[in-house]
Amino acid sequence: MGRMQMIRADVSTCIILGGSGYIGHRWACRLAARQQFDSVVLADVRQPSLPLPSGTVFRICDVRQPLAAQLGAIKPQWLFNFAAIHREPGHKWREYYETNLPGARNVCEYAEAAGCKHILFTSSIAVYGPTSGPTPEAAPTYPVAAYGASKLAAELIHEGWRREDQERRLMICRPGVVYGAGDPGNILRMIHAVKKGYFVFPGSKGLRKSYAYIEGLLDSFDFMMARRETQLTWNYVERETESLGNLVKIVQEHFGRKIPTLTAPLPLLRVAAVLMQSLTAGRSPVHPTRVRKAGMSTHIVPQTLQELGFKFRFDFRSSLQDWVAKAPEDFS
């Protein structure tokens, strides 16, 4: 996989930056299955942990550095920029800026040099900060952490690239917390906690939570790429933003668990998380940052998709059913 495979200049090509990540790999699988491009190149700073989809190639690529020397003489029709530092906790604040901003600049400079006219960039609902009320795309942006602030700055860098040429097209997706088959993230941690009976509501069962099922998220990419606007920015969350209490109820009903769940004040949970980190030398999944995020309302509205007539295939209940059918091993 380390050898550089030549890409002919006369074929339709796309490059997926961040191709070893969860969204990048799943998008590559979809594109390869449909044969939408003659060549699909996955590029990432680390080798993929999963097998490459048939017909794709892989390149080691660090978006913090200029891309032309790393990618060679490829002339892509589309760049999919999923490369970012995003996990919280796990990084120092400066690391988000040191990767996400130079990454955006280098991607845009490469697109200009390679003559690429189309970029799809994944931002985040973190650009809005806490959202106690319904929050569409036109709402003010108030990121409260380095991840959201760096993503908002990266959006502006991409927008500057788009404005320099009226033929360029820019798609910016702001997904909620992404989940689905093979992803070990926050949603799966919540499901396991509910199944095992140690889930605790952080302050209130009425907190709103907006999540993005991977299959629906990729549907939104397809939908927006097929349009003709020069720039589109959209939230992707499942159309019904559920309360945390209802999410837990759906999990309990699906797995036949009737174990009672407790509610605890958020300050008490923060203290408990600090103690857990101390007692386990930082190995406990109960982390103060996760507790803070769990107690923050995210009431996001996918208004742009709704107004454009996008057909949502999933809500949380049907996405859970689809996930279990595709990857039952995730829940064992």
Summary mean pLDDT of the chain: 89
Residue 240's pLDDT band, with cuts at 50, 70 and 90, is confident
So what's the pLDDT on residue 6?
Answer: 43
So what's the pLDDT on residue 31?
Answer: 96
Question: Which tokens hold the place of 206?
Answer: 């009425």
Q: Is the pLDDT of residue 198 over 90?
A: no
Contacts of 160 (CB under 8 A, 6+ apart): 108
Q: CA 80, CA 42: separation in Å to the nearest integer?
A: 10
Place of tokens 């397809």: 222
Q: Is the pLDDT of residue 7 over 50?
A: no
Q: Give residue-wise pLDDT tens across range 87-106.
A: 665 658 688 899 999 999 99
Question: Which tokens hold the place of 129?
Answer: 């900060």
Residues 81, 120 contacting (CB under 8 angstroms) = yes
Mean pLDDT of 178-195: 93
The residue ranking higher by pLDDT, 278 or 217, is 217
Q: Is the pLDDT of residue 1 over 70?
A: no
Residues 1, 52 contacting (CB under 8 angstroms) = yes
Which residue, 218, 264, 265, 210, is CA-closest to 239? 210
Q: Is the pLDDT of residue 117 over 80?
A: yes
Residue 282 — left, alpha, or beta (φ > 0 → left; ψ -120 to 50 → alpha)? left
Q: Considering the entire predicted model, what is its pTM?
A: 0.90
DSSP state at residue 202:
E
Question: Which tokens hold the place of 310?
Answer: 């996008």
- Kind plus residue range of the DSSP H or E element containing 111: helix 93-114
Residues 194, 160 contacting (CB under 8 angstroms) = no
Q: Is the pLDDT of residue 82 over 70?
A: yes
Burial of residue 38 (number of CB atoms within 10 Å: 0-12, 13-18, 19+):
middle
Mean pLDDT of 304-311: 98
Residues in the chain: 332
Provide the percentage of residues in the chain whose pLDDT is more than 90. Answer: 69
Q: Give residue-wise pLDDT tens across range 311-321.
A: 999 999 999 99
So what's the pLDDT on residue 298?
Answer: 87
DSSP string spanning 123-192?
--GGGG--EEEEE-TTS-----SHHHHHHHHHHHHHHHHHHT-TT-EEEEEEE-EEE-TT--SHHHHHHH
Mean pLDDT of 63-86: 92
Q: Give residue-wise pLDDT tens across range 210-234.
A: 999 999 999 999 999 999 999 999 9
Q: CA 44, CA 244: separation in Å to the nearest integer?
A: 35
Burial 152-182 (b: 16+ CB within 10 A, else e): bbbbebbeebbeeeeebbbbbbbbbbbbbbb
Q: Is the pLDDT of residue 192 over 90?
A: yes
Q: Give residue-wise pLDDT tens across range 136-185.
A: 999 999 998 899 999 999 999 999 999 999 999 999 999 999 999 999 88
Q: CA 183, CA 330: separation in Å to the nearest integer?
A: 8
Domains and CATH numbers, the chain: 13-183+210-240+299-331 (3.40.50.720)
